Amino acid sequence: MLSDHLKKECCIMDLKAETVEGAIREISERLNGMVLDRQTFVLDVLAREKLNSTGIGYGVAIPHARTNSVKNLVIGFGRAVRGIDFNAIDGQKVNFVFVMGAHPREIRQSLGVLSELSKLTLTQSFRDSLKAVTTSEEVIALFKSYEDAFYQPLLT
């Protein structure tokens, strides 16, 4: 689950960056300790972003990469109140940036996390709540509450 990977220390409630590269760098700084080589990590994410924008619309971008600069899957989140021009599919500025890196062997894990992130961020009420929260703790709690609402234990 996504909330297993997203830590409150890796959430920025008010990104200072005003560019795609700046946002990726700023969020990546929060992944300290989880990234073996931050410079390589940032370059790998930027290289992927150059292929095509990960601005998927609705004010959301999910820059990501398969990279040897992490041992395990990492995610960071940044909220840009004024919005960043990510060249998103719908032309809107991006307010929510999720940076994800996964080791190349973590194929299923990264597919699962990207898939969940895609589904959650397509949900308008989720995006509205993400806009309203004020602390990192609330971001984590929001993810958990949506996961709890969407899922329930199997075979109860």
Partner 1 sequence: MIENILVAVEGSLESLMTAKYAIYLSKLLNSRLTVVYVVDEKTLKDLLKSRIFVEVEAMEYERDLVEQGETFLVRIKALAESKKVQVETQVLRGVVNEEITRKAGELQAGLLVMGEPRHKLSRVDTYYDEGEKILRGVHCPIVIVKNAEMIEKIFKELK
Among 23, 62, 75, 130, contact with partner 1 (rule: CB under 8 A) = 62
Question: Which of residues 42 and 102 has its CB atom nearest to partner 1 in the complex?
Answer: 102
Question: Which of residues 9 and 151 has its CB atom nearest to partner 1 in the complex?
Answer: 151
Indicate whether 67 belongs to the interface with partner 1 (CB under 8 A).
no
Indicate whether 115 belongs to the interface with partner 1 (CB under 8 A).
yes
- Return the DSSP state at 92: P
Indicate whether 47 belongs to the interface with partner 1 (CB under 8 A).
no
| Of residues 15, 78, 5, 74, the one with CA closest to residue 41 | 74
String of DSSP letters for 131-146: HH--SHHHHHHHHHHH
Indicate whether 87 belongs to the interface with partner 1 (CB under 8 A).
no
Among 72, 111, 131, 137, contact with partner 1 (rule: CB under 8 A) = 111
- What are 15's two structure tokens? 């990104």
Indicate whether 114 belongs to the interface with partner 1 (CB under 8 A).
yes
Which of these ranges, 14-22, 78-86, 110-118, 134-142, lies near partner 1 under the rule CB under 8 A? 110-118
d(CA 69, CA 82): 31
Apex 135 CA angle, 5 and 110, nearest 5: 20
**Are 36 and 69 within 8 A, CB to CB?**
yes
**Are 85 and 59 within 8 A, CB to CB?**
no
Where along the sequence are the contacts to partner 1 (CB under 8 A)?
Answer: 1, 48, 51-57, 62, 64, 66, 89, 104, 107-108, 111, 114-115, 117-119, 122, 147, 149-155
